[in-house]
Structure 1
Amino acid sequence: MRYADGPKAECEIRIAAAVPRVWGLVSDIGLPARLSPELQRVEWLDGATAPAVGARFAGHNRHPKIGEWRTVSQLVTVAAGHEFGWAVLDTAGRFGAPVTDPAQALATWRFTLTPAFGGVLLRHSVRVGPGASGLSTVIARMPDREEHLIEARLAELRTGMTATLEGIKALAEA
């Protein structure tokens, strides 16, 4: 697996709740910060107060090996009851020239809701790249370990995604 291939991870969970209930949770940009081991807090940017394609928000993250950092994300998909997605951008130019184009994101995240018998099948996914990121920086220093580095990072992301999905399930079914 190579960074240039756009490595992906996906997790899913069945939730015994109505689509609108689950949608209300996944479209709340602050909720993952309550559930994720890495994302600590978020806030809307540019005067945005609600989800809409093009709206941006800042995410404040923490990782035991990496430390703390801030990201800027832009909503790329807001299809009520179906899909909620955002692209993480390097607007500060931490990994090269500043990036404001979602097509050059560090990563693109999505929640996808599919009605299922008795509730909802909720998928949480991420595609890493194609833009430069902390992971691509580490790979550049250790190119012979690229596959291992990607697999390790995707495993960490899956752990966080699973925690987020389990938290959404608990809230939706309560």
Structure 2
Amino acid sequence: MTERIPCDADTAWALVTDIELPVQCSAELASVEWEGTADRVEPGARFRGRNDHPAFGSWETVCEVVEVEPKRRWVWRVLGPDDATSATWAFEIDPARDGVIVRQWARMGPAPSGLTPAITATPELEGRIVTRRLEEWANGMRANLAWIRDQVDSDSH
């Protein structure tokens, strides 16, 4: 998902590196906090998210920042069993005329995730289960980007 935001890279970076940003927009993510002594986006930093979903129940995930290019991109992975990557997420910022383009993307896998029990129980519905989950992710990313734009818009008025 992408959104053109009328701000500079510093402003966009401050917004996308706030790990609590998705809590503002998500019907699923209830809270997030840094783990241990981590307090900012940097490689190796970990944070914990608490989630609640009508179909999957409540659960927690631990995420680890794996890549940071200041004012440009940060990537984190969701840790599954044995610290395997069950999903990867990122925010990216590109310069544009009259602002920046902010992009958020995500990728499932390669390790099993919270979808695995549902797929194992009903393998004939795997395509539907994955499609629905990806639609939820896309809706969440759109909401995150709209929230960022709203923050910039409200600060400029």
TM-score by length of 1: 0.84
Q: How many aligned residue pairs are there?
A: 154
The amino acid across from 1:132 in the alignment is P
**Counterpart-to-counterpart distance in 2, 1:65 and 1:143:** 16
In the TM superposition, what whole-angstrom CA distance separates every residue of 1:68-121 from its partner, at most 9, and x where no partner exists? 11110000112111111110012xxxxxxx322xxx311100001111111111
Query: Quick one: higher RCO (CA 8 Å, sep 6+), 1 or 2?
Result: 1
Structure 2 residue aligned with 1:114:
94
The amino acid across from 1:159 in the alignment is N
Q: Select the residue among 95, 104, 126 that pairs with 2:106.
A: 126
Q: Is 1:81 matched with 2:81?
A: no
Alpha carbons 1:17, 1:173 under 8 Å: kept: no
- Shift of the alpha carbon at 1:138? 1.3
SS in structure 2 at match of 1:99 = helix
- Shift of the alpha carbon at 1:173? 2.8
The amino acid across from 1:152 in the alignment is R
Q: Select the residue among 113, 123, 142 that pairs with 1:143.
A: 123
SS in structure 1 at match of 2:127 = helix
**Counterpart-to-counterpart distance in 1, 2:100 and 2:13:** 10
Q: Is 1:99 matched with 2:82?
A: yes
Alpha carbons 1:75, 1:86 under 8 Å: kept: yes
Q: Is 1:63 matched with 2:43?
A: no
Structure 2 residue aligned with 1:171:
151
**Counterpart-to-counterpart distance in 2, 1:149 and 1:18:** 39
TM-score by length of 2: 0.93
Alpha carbons 1:99, 1:105 under 8 Å: kept: no
**Counterpart-to-counterpart distance in 2, 1:172 and 1:131:** 36
Runs of 4+ residues deviating >6 angstroms: none
**Counterpart-to-counterpart distance in 1, 2:28 and 2:4:** 23
**Counterpart-to-counterpart distance in 1, 2:75 and 2:47:** 12
The amino acid across from 1:140 in the alignment is T
- Shift of the alpha carbon at 1:137? 2.1
- Shift of the alpha carbon at 1:165? 0.8
**Counterpart-to-counterpart distance in 2, 1:65 and 1:137:** 12
Q: Select the residue among 140, 146, 151 that pairs with 1:160.
A: 140
When the two chains are superposed, the root-mean-square deviation of aligned CA atoms in Å is 1.2
